[in-house]
Chain A
Amino acid sequence: MSATRPQLPQEFIAAHKRRRMIDAMAELCAEQGYEATKIADVVRRAHVARKTLYDNFSGKEELFLAAFDVTVAEAEAEVVEACDQIGDKDWEARTEAGMRALLEFVAAHPAEAKLCLVEAPAAGPESAARYEAALEGFIQQLRDAAPAGGGRPATLEEALVGGTVWIVQREVRQDAAEKVVELLPELAQFVISPYRNVGKR
């Protein structure tokens, strides 16, 4: 964070409008799906001029992708912050804290979660690629953080992240995002237990 003078009101308003359009996109996708969502719906919901939308985004897909990127970045930031509070010593506690932060984010942002987990994989090739990349990021994070050795299968992290996302995705699809936090004990156990008993043979 730089400590320069406050942003100009105009920049503030522009950022605020951009945010409103992104939020509107997420809400509308959650209600009616990406395919059915029209630019006209977004403009109406966000209370912005059509021109404002096209000044910011080339069209519906770019707005959708922006909403995806913003949401993933925010979720990642919360996960990182929760992990950092635990420190590097205890990877189990760290992993559980990260998972809790992620599940709490999903519960607090059901529309955005639906956009990322339900709409994005099927909303076109670019969107599918970003979804895969975000998943890859979580897989890599788990690989980097998990205790080394133990002769575990090379595909373990892919299956663990895939399985966790599968469960969360299902709840979000069924408009039950607020319930995902209740699944933390089982999901944390699911992810952590394959790494226990390392070296005991």
Chain B
Amino acid sequence: MDRLPRGRHGLSPEFVARNQRERLISALILTLAEVGYQKTTVSMIGRRAAVSKSDFYKHFDSKDDCFFAAYDYAVDRIRSTVLEACVPNHTAEWSDRVRAGITALLTLLASEPPLATIVLAEGLRAGRGIYDRYQAAVESFVPLLREGAPDPPGAAPVPSATDEAVVGGIAALLSRRVVGGEAEDLTRLIGDVLEFALAPHLGTEGARRITSAG
């Protein structure tokens, strides 16, 4: 993120303030990925963002306050990326939309590991408070998966708990990989994750056919 030019730049105070806030958020995400939550300090964030400590406290009450804002920002990025990938294909087959969403998700996380780290790994070590945000973020993908999903061949409709378990299971799998330092390799899991997401609605064989046709 570029720093603002020093001196007279003709930018409004509101713009500078917003810009500082965004720089602090992104500095926290990068620092967290490098040294972990415990060791991240307000001074480190400020230095990286080129924002003074007193300006930091104009935007956030504490490290945790900045952390929550950063967490929400990261979740928002991920969610909007997935939505962008699958909603324009509104008329497409359900399985194509799921494929587009999963591909977009794993591609984003693999290309920006610090984003994956705050949402799925180090962020979750930051205390119990963050779990509410994590849970809400994961659950927000359930309606997206269920929308337009077909009933399985020759069987009863898929219970909601199953799709919730699918989404939670994907989050758990990704989290394990990110904790293990393998965020950059996440795109290799697109096939596995896709088959896992499709299987309850299409049957294992149907899901595999579509996955391998990819």
When A122-B131, A190-B200, A197-B204 are in contact, do A163 and B168 touch as well, CB less than 8 Å? Answer: yes
Asked if A173 and B173 make an inter-chain contact with CB atoms under 8 angstroms apart, the answer reads no
- Chain B: residues with CB nearer than 8 A to chain A? 124-128, 130-131, 135, 138, 159, 161-162, 164-173, 175-176, 179, 189, 191-193, 195-196, 199-200, 203-205, 208
* Chain A interface main SS type: helix
Taking CB atoms, residues of chain A closer than 8 Å to B208 are: 151
Taking CB atoms, residues of chain A closer than 8 Å to B167 are: 163, 166
Is A140 at the interface (CB under 8 A from chain B)?
Answer: no
Asked if A159 and B164 make an inter-chain contact with CB atoms under 8 angstroms apart, the answer reads no
How many residues of A sit at the interface, in one of the four size bands? 35 or more
Number of A-B residue pairs at CB separation under 8 A? 109
A118 to B128, CA, bound (A): 8
When A122-B126, A159-B169 are in contact, do A186 and B162 touch as well, CB less than 8 Å? Answer: yes
Asked if A162 and B124 make an inter-chain contact with CB atoms under 8 angstroms apart, the answer reads no
Closest to A166 in B: B168
Q: Pick the contact of B192: A122, A156, A167 (CB < 8 A).
A: A156
Closest to A182 in B: B161
When A156-B192, A158-B173, A186-B159 are in contact, do A167 and B168 touch as well, CB less than 8 Å? Answer: yes
When A151-B208, A153-B196, A197-B204 are in contact, do A162 and B173 touch as well, CB less than 8 Å? Answer: yes
Interface residues of A in 159-201 (CB under 8 A from B): 159-167, 170, 173, 183, 186-187, 189-190, 193-194, 196-197, 200-201
A158 to B173, CA, bound (A): 6
